[in-house]
Each structure stands twice: as C-alpha cells, then as structure tokens.
Amino acid sequence: MKKILFVASEGVPFIKTGGLADVVGSLPKCFDKENYDVRVILPKYMCMRQEWKDKMNYLTHFYMDLSWRSQYVGILEMQYDGVQFYFIDNEYYFSGPKPYGNIYQDVEKFAFFSKAALSALPVIGFKPDIIHCHDWQTGLVPVFLKDKFHENEFFRDIRSVISIHNLKFQGVWDVKTIQDITGLDKSYFAPDKLEAYGDANYLKGGIVYADRITTVSKTYAEEIQTPFYGERLDGLMRARNNCLTGIVNGIDYDEYNPATDSFVEKNYDIKSFRKEKVKNKKALQKELGLDQDDRKFLIGIVSRLTDQKGFDLIAYMMDEMCQQDLQFVVLGTGEERYENMFRHFAWKYQGKVAANIYYSEAMSHKIYASCDAFLMPSLFEPCGLSQLMSLRYGTIPIVRETGGLKDTVEPYNEYKATGTGFSFANYNAHEMLYTIKYAMDVFYNHKRDWNKMVERAMKKDFSWNTSAREYEKLYESMLEEQ
Ligand code: ADP
Ligand code: GLC
C-alpha cells in the first residue's frame, strides 16, 4: 500500500475559494483504493460551516516551536466520502472571515500550517511515502522536510511533490520577517533557494526543494517556462523542467451531473437535452428577471472577477456585446471595478443582463445547466474547471486558447463537424467579439450543428479517471528512485 498525504489550504466540501478546493476535495477519492491510501490535511478555519465543524473528531494536541514562538496544534479528523481528512486547529491563525486575509498574516499562518502538518504525522501515526503539496501556501513543506525534519528517522525517506495551481501567487515577503517567522537558517535565503528578487518566496522554496513539480495542464507547464506566463520564475521553471509535468485537472462527475443534479430545475442527459435543457433556461430567466424567451442565446459566466479571467476584454466590449441578440448571466465576486461594471450593465440593459455579485454553489450549477454558452476569455489559465463543468452540462465554452482552456476545449470545425467549443488565439477584445458572433451564428442559424456540438461536449470525459492514473504513475516513478 502506497501512502500519500495531500497538504493544502482548501478543499471541498469543507472550504473553497477557487478551483484548488475542487481538486483537493475530489482527486483523493479517485486513486486506486487497493494500492493507495491517500489522506488530506487542511487547516480548520473558523469560517468553515458549523455542520462540518460539528462532524470533526478531536484526536489530540501538542505545542510546536515556530522559530521563537510556541504554538498550539490541535488535530481533528473526519472520514468523508471514503477519504481520511485531518484538520489543524489553531484559533490564533485560523479565525477570521475568510481563509486568506492580508499577505503578512498569511505568510505566518501558512508557515505555521506547513510545519504543523509535518509535526502532526508521527503523532497520528501516519508515515506517508509521498507528501503532495499544493500552491504557495504549502511551499515550505518540502523546505522544512529537507531541513530539521530530515534529521529525524521518521521523515528521512519521505518524498515530496508540489503542484502549481497558479504561478501568479507565490507567497512573497521580506527575507528578515520570513526568517524570523520560519526560524530557517540564513543560508536558505539565497537566490538558488528561497530568495527571489530580494524577497523570500514560499513557492520558489517549494519548487526548489520538492522532488517533483506538477502543474494542472500540459500547455501551462510549457507556458510557465516563458517570460510572459512565468511570473518572474520562468528561469527556475526552465531549470527544473526535467522534474516538471503537466497533468490536466478533472472534475467530480457525481457532483456535476446534469442527470442527477438537485440544484437544477430539470435534469437531462445526452439523450434528452434537446427537449429538457431549455426548461432550465426558462426557469433561470424567470428567477433572475431576464426577458423570458427560450430561443435567446444565453451566455453564462461563473468566475472570480479578476484580470486573470479576461474581464478587461469583457469590460471593453460589454456595450457592444449587449447590442447583439443575446443575454448574459454573471455570477462572481472579486475586484470592485468588475463587480460594479456588471451591476451597471444589469441596470442599463434590464432584461438582458443579470448580475449576481455573490458566491453560490446552487446558482453556479443552475448557470452551468441553463446557458447555451459559457464565456471564459482568460489572460492565463493554469487549467480552469468552469469550462469542464460547462462541457459536462452541454453548455458550449467560448474561451481563449491558453493553458488548460487550450487543452480541454476543442475548437469547432464546421467543415469536419468536430469540436466542443469556440476559441480565439490572441488576447484581443475584437477577436473575442468575433468569436461570440460566430457562436451566435451557429446557434441561431445552424441549430442541428449546434446540438451535435452539445452532444460531443457532453460525451467528453473530464472525470478524474485518466488524470488520477497519471498521478499514480508519477508517484510510482518517484518511489522507484529510492
Ligand atoms: P479558479 O480556481 O482560477 O478560480 P477554476 O475554473 O479552476 O478557476 O475554478 C473555479 C471554481 O469556483 C469553479 O468550481 C466555479 O464554479 C467556482 N466559482 C467561482 N465563482 C463562483 C461563485 N461566485 N459562486 C459559486 N461558485 C463559483
Ligand atoms: C487555480 C487556477 C485554475 C485551476 C485551479 C485548480 O485556481 O487559476 O486555472 O483550474 O487552480 O487547479
């Protein structure tokens, strides 16, 4: 039995701010149970729903040194969906209304979490063969592991892999403070280790010290080795590229299933979508005060409202797009200027634009199920899960060809009758508009072709089946080296 430990800052159903949580919550249960014991360790945030906190069982607690501080580490546990979860409790670090606050607090919080996750292992009696870290929040795990923990027999042959879900966020703060927080020796803060451009960088530490590095699509694995996508670490990514693999994300096919989804008005599948899917559109139009016309081309957006997702292109084109024969429904929170932009357009184009500036699992499912198309013109996209959810619900993605979007959405070819969506190459508002108009033309004037595309989209398999096997292969290759 191979033992794997996921260490992460979020995971569904317990806590989620983005796609990372979907991955951490849904991938562990997809490993071959005969050969893999995969467990997950997360912080116990005060802002988790009471329902989850009530279900956690207290295991034990101890005190841990973090540099000159001595901190309480509580350990709770829970079995969920066949997976063993552990939660690190510390009210000083994990209170607050959201998992992440200001970066100064966060760098200390996740230094604590990373060290606590390692320190907890002998106490709970779980010795993983491989620790699988995710994003900058756990970047110090491979560093601590090779530092003092290495001196301890228990930790000596534990290997580590770090997955980059978004290279933009690196956990950067000044060297002096980070040295004080972590208690790591001065020698760690050199340009070939944790230091980057004068500051301490958690993600860089993880990338340097982990035995393997993965990211969430093949294209992003290539892109991050170039200056445009490399977020100033492209040189490091090139230097480590023999240890870097891209493994595309999957989604939970039970959670996101149009045939059984309890959030949607009318369930449907690949056979019944022609008749049934449109009923969801009608219901959503009614619920959100859009003009009730089930023949209208309805475009959905479910997203963090940030530059990454291409909202400056949308802002630039919104007026012009609203002159078209279509409707928009947006669900998202984020940068104020984009929140206000959508509120403004919902006011200006009543009946045509619905702005839902909040977070809602239920509403997201309704949008995936009800819309004709889903817009995601990202500037960069490590993988993207929303387009996979859209495909699953037969909602045609309109995307920019970058990262995981390029790898998962096959562009429509009207001559060969192939493809599952529409895409454009350059980060350019007019290319986006042109692509939307092309999609509209197929929708309004070639309905049979459109429906065939919906069928192809729904037939695609972006469950974890394939990618979980790729992670297993990666783990195996790591263990063979020992
Ligand atoms: P990222 O992780 O970069 O935000 P992904 O596409 O990988 O992008 O994952 C986003 C996840 O968050 C999806 O599950 C999506 O449905 C969900 N999501 C984003 N915004 C909202 C929202 N306002 N309400 C509900 N779900 C949301
Ligand atoms: C990040 C990326 C997104 C990816 C998700 C899960 O949030 O922005 O593209 O799908 O992580 O890996």
Give distance in angstroms: CA of 102 to centre of ligand 1: 21
The structural domains of the chain, with segments of one domain joined by +, span: 2-250+465-480, 273-461
Question: Is the shortest distance between the CB of 250 and ligand 1 below 6 Å?
Answer: no
Give distance in angstroms: CA of 359 to centre of ligand 2: 17
- Best residue among 10, 23, 383 to mutate for probing ligand 2's pocket (most ligand atoms within 8 Å of CB) is 383
Distances (CA, A) of 249 to 103, 205, 307, 450: 27, 24, 22, 26
Give distance in angstroms: CA of 21 to centre of ligand 1: 9
Distances (CA, A) of 251 to 228, 385, 462, 463: 28, 7, 6, 5
Distances (CA, A) of 324 to 30, 150, 320, 374, 464: 43, 62, 7, 16, 38
Does an H or E element contain 209, and which?
Answer: helix 202-209
Question: In angstroms, rounded to a whole number, what is the distance separating the alpha carbons of residues 300 and 295?
Answer: 15
- How does pLDDT run along the chain (482 residues), one tens digit per residue? 999 999 999 999 999 999 999 999 999 999 999 999 999 999 999 999 999 999 999 999 999 999 999 999 999 999 999 999 999 999 999 999 999 999 999 999 999 999 999 999 999 999 999 999 999 999 999 999 999 999 999 999 999 999 999 999 999 999 999 999 999 999 999 999 999 999 999 999 999 999 999 999 999 999 999 999 999 999 999 999 999 999 999 999 999 999 999 999 999 999 999 999 999 999 999 999 999 999 999 999 999 999 999 999 999 999 999 999 999 999 999 999 999 999 999 999 999 999 999 999 999 999 999 999 999 999 999 999 999 999 999 999 999 999 999 999 999 999 999 999 999 999 999 999 999 999 999 999 999 999 999 999 999 999 999 999 999 999 999 999 86
* Cα angle, residue 183 at apex, residues 178 and 185 outer, rounded to 5°: 95
Question: In angstroms, rounded to a whole number, what is the distance separating the alpha carbons of residues 51 and 70?
Answer: 30
* 288: exposed, middle or buried (Cβ count in 10 Å: 0-12, 13-18, 19+): buried
Q: Residue 16, Cα to own-chain centre: how many angstroms?
A: 9
Give distance in angstroms: CA of 19 to centre of ligand 1: 6
Question: In angstroms, rounded to a whole number, what is the distance separating the alpha carbons of residues 22 and 271?
Answer: 28
Give distance in angstroms: CA of 380 to centre of ligand 2: 10
Question: In angstroms, rounded to a whole number, what is the distance separating the alpha carbons of residues 471 and 482?
Answer: 18
Question: Is the shortest distance between the CB of 251 and ligand 2 below 6 Å?
Answer: no
Tell the residue nearest (CA) to atom 19 of ligand 1: 303
- Reported residue count of the chain is 482
Question: In angstroms, rounded to a whole number, what is the distance separating the alpha carbons of residues 178 and 285?
Answer: 51
Question: In angstroms, rounded to a whole number, what is the distance separating the alpha carbons of residues 240 and 310?
Answer: 29
Tell the residue nearest (CA) to atom 17 of ligand 1: 18
Question: Is the shortest distance between the CB of 23 and ligand 2 below 6 Å?
Answer: yes
Give distance in angstroms: CA of 234 to centre of ligand 2: 18
Would you give the DSSP letter of residue 48? S
Task: State the amino acid at position 181 in one-letter form.
Answer: I
Q: Does the domain at residues 2-250+465-480 carry the CATH identifier 3.50.50.60?
A: no
Give distance in angstroms: CA of 333 to centre of ligand 1: 10
pTM for the full model? Answer: 0.98
Q: Which residue has the tokens 């989804």?
A: 261
Tell the residue nearest (CA) to atom 10 of ligand 1: 19
Q: Which residue has the tokens 């690196």?
A: 170
Task: State the amino acid at position 132 in one-letter form.
Answer: H
DSSP 466-481: HHHHHHHHHHHHHHHT
Question: In angstroms, rounded to a whole number, what is the distance separating the alpha carbons of residues 482 and 479?
Answer: 6
Please determine whether the domains at 2-250+465-480 and 273-461 fall in the same fold group of CATH.
yes
Atom of ligand 1 nearest to the CA of 386: 6
pLDDT (0 to 100) of residue 280: 98
> Considering only CA atoms, which of 128, 123, 124 is closest in space to residue 159?
128
Question: Is the shortest distance between the CB of 331 and ligand 1 below 6 Å?
Answer: yes
Q: In DSSP terms, which residues pair with 65 in a beta bridge?
A: 70
**CATH class for domain 273-461?**
alpha beta
**199-201, strands of its sheet edge to edge:** 172-174, 199-201, 195-196
Would you give the DSSP letter of residue 15? B
Q: Is 187 helix (H, G, I), strand (E, B) or coil?
A: helix
